[in-house]
Amino acid sequence: MPIIPEKHLLSQLGHLLGAQAIRGHDETSPCSLGAVARRAPGEASPLPQKLPSGISRSEQLLGLQRYLNFPFVPAYAGEDGGLVLDRVVHTLGSRGSSWWATITARLRAQRAWLQQKAGRSRKTSLLDPTNYALSVQTNSRVSNSLSLCANLDFDDFNQVVALANGRESEVPLRMQAELKQKLPWHQLTAEAILHGRYRGTGLGTIQVPRVLSADLASDSRKSGLRYQAGLFQVVSNDEGYGQDAGEGPAGLRTSTFLQCAATVEKDLVLWRGRKGREGGRPGGKVLSPFELAYSTSKFGSEVNKLRLMSRTGASGPAPKPSEKPASPPKRRMPFSALLNTPYLSFGGVAGVLAQADLGALGDASASDVLSKVGRGLLSPGDGKFWATRRAFASAGLNAQLGTFSKHILDFTSVSLKLDTGVTFPGGSAETAAPESGAFRHGLLDQYGRSRHMLSASVAQQVFGPLRVRADARCEVELRAPPRGVPLLDKIAGCAGLPPGAQVPEVVYGMDCQLPYLNGAARFSVWYSPTRREGLGEIRLL
């Protein structure tokens, strides 16, 4: 899983390309045993507290089980009835080897307790197959540059029994396989998803029977340029939004298309305050979090030795053997080596995306295809071949006050971010051909909509390494500034809530920097009342 530093706003905005592409962006969520949920393409990137943690859920469960003797790890998932208990029940291979696999089980404890409270016996509730879920995750490193990972999810134990008996389950299994090949400055990715679930802006779940993709993307941020191109095939439901897991699709539509996208990113530090004395080293060299964590005691002894030598120099009298040198004042280390400098920064990403419906080609020759590709990118066209063309952008401000060194209220962080997307004329999904149903239904329905999302995040130190945090995001409507009004009223009139806007998504939480790591890792707990889910996890940086 990628590591996204909390302080670096551009690292969060840099994933905008993945969020806009068909692959979508992953966010942390207890709705699955892997604690990963896929956001639908075209959606805003996840809120800061729900960005990938950098450590997989199975590794966190194994660490708590083996080293702290946790029998299970709780989480809160509203889709699963409330409180759930997760545990890795079996492992194959080892994390450092070329192949390893984990089998994770879930008990929907609150659902079983409510069943017992409603009159069912404890034994019947605990033996109910629908109160259990299972997930098999495998990872294989074929070579230094080629890796393969796959997940198989059983939403309830009836699926396991049906598979063992050779019967077809009423609820289809959810499977995902991903192959990654590292190339010079690029990465080739092939992915297959069966009966996947994507999250839309309306807080609903999009059921997608099948997604096949193969794309080539740049993995270098040199010069701030990213690009991606690939082929995708989507089998979507006619009415994909808001379907419950048990509802069958009214019909299936298949769409095969080419997608190209590129982004340019830039960040600026508008103001930087003075770094705390404790965050550096004589000579101006700044230590990394891990170096700072493991060299603190050694550095302190070196400082004491230098001070003692200065006292025993030739210019001054040597102290008597019975005299003890004065103890130096204790150095107060910051709670995080990454967050000990106040600053104000700005970051922005802008990009374009185009999708060509290959199903509209028919028996066209290669020259006709190239001609349509060239004309479609430069002119509006008829909207049948280039079914979607849109520009998107994201910009944000990030500010921090305090050096996170004192024990009370020495850290305050505020960030604002605006995500926007505008569809080009003639390239909207509404003008697509009726045959390209996948562009009008299910997974790709939102590509024809212009949406602006405003996000805000606040973090405040309470005491020591403990902080409270809050994230919120809502849809806004951008308007032309009114004329003939004061400046403040003109600024306030530029944006507002659109009619029928969805309920803002909110996440509350707190985190604590782990000792001896100086900000390299922290323990975080968060809860989202709009999604009705909460999770505790270890997050890197």
Amino acid 317: pLDDT: 52
Which domain-ending residue is among 289, 308, 327? 308
Q: Which amino acid is at 84?
A: V
464 shares a domain with 363 = yes
DSSP per-residue codes, 500-523: TPPPPEEEEEEEEEPTTTTTSEEE
Specify the pLDDT at position 502. 77
With respect to residue 317, please indicate whether it lies within any of the assigned structural domains.
no
Q: Which helix (H) or strand (E) holds 269?
A: strand 252-272
Residue 319 domain-assigned (yes or no): no
Domain count, the chain: 2
Q: How many residues does the chain have?
A: 541
4 part of a folded domain: no
pLDDT attached to residue 299: 44
In a domain, 322, yes or no: no
Let me know whether 452 and 407 are in one domain.
yes
- Give the pLDDT score at 323: 56
Q: Is 179 found in the same domain as 258?
A: yes
Pair 413, 340: CB distance under 8 Å: no
CB-CB contact of 381 with 361 (8 Å): no
Model confidence pLDDT, tens digit, residues 232-275: 888 876 554 444 444 444 567 788 888 898 888 888 889 998 87
Q: Residue 328 falls within a domain, yes or no?
A: no
State both tokens at 402. 């305090």
Domain limit, last residue, from 252, 285, 308 = 308
Residue 499: the pLDDT is: 73
Determine, yes or no, domain membership for 333.
no
From first CA to last CA, the distance across the chain in angstroms is: 13
- Residue 146 sits in the same domain as residue 215: yes
Tokens of 365: 């020759």
Report pLDDT for 238. Answer: 58
pLDDT at site 382: 47
Instruction: Provide the b/e sequence for 62-101 (b: ≥16 CB within 10 Å).
Output: bebbeeeeeebbebbbbbbbbbbbbbbeeeeeeeeeeebb
Check whether residue 438 and residue 385 sit in a common domain.
yes
pLDDT score, position 374: 47
In this structure, are 394 and 291 located in the same domain?
A: no
pLDDT of residue 221: 62
Query: Could you tell me which residues come within 8 angstroms of residue 526 by beta carbon, excluding any fewer than 6 positions away?
Result: 49, 50, 469, 507, 508, 509, 510, 534, 535
pLDDT of residue 152: 94
If asked whether residues 177 and 128 sit together in one domain, one would say yes
The last residue of one of the domains, among 308, 323, 354, is 308
Domain assignment present for residue 155? The answer is: yes
| 423 and 296 in a common domain | no
Asked if residue 285 and residue 145 are part of one domain, the reply reads: no
179 and 142 fall within a common domain: yes
Q: What is the pTM of this model?
A: 0.79
Nearest CA to 24 out of 1, 50, 8, 43 is that of: 43
Q: Are residues 163 and 294 in the same domain?
A: no
For the chain, which residues score pLDDT lower than 70?
A: 1-3, 9-16, 18, 22, 95-96, 201-203, 220-223, 237-251, 276-332, 360-385, 423-450
**3-state secondary structure (DSSP) of residue 119:** coil
Q: How far apart are CA 116 and CA 103, in angstroms?
A: 28
Please report the pLDDT score of residue 166 as a whole number.
Answer: 80
Please tell me whether residues 370 and 429 are part of one structural domain.
yes
What is the pLDDT at residue 292? 42
- Whether 293 is covered by a domain: the verdict is yes
Q: Look up the domain containing 288 and give its range.
A: 277-308
Report how far Cα 57 is from the mean position of its chain's Cα atoms: 13
| Of 420, 422, 428, 447, nearest in space to 386 by CA | 428
pLDDT digits (tens, 9 = 90+) for 364-408: 554 555 455 444 444 444 445 677 788 888 888 999 999 998 999
Query: How far apart, in whole angstroms, are the C-alpha atoms of residue 466 and residue 409?
Result: 10
Q: What is the Cα–Cα distance from 394 to 265, expressed in whole angstroms?
A: 9
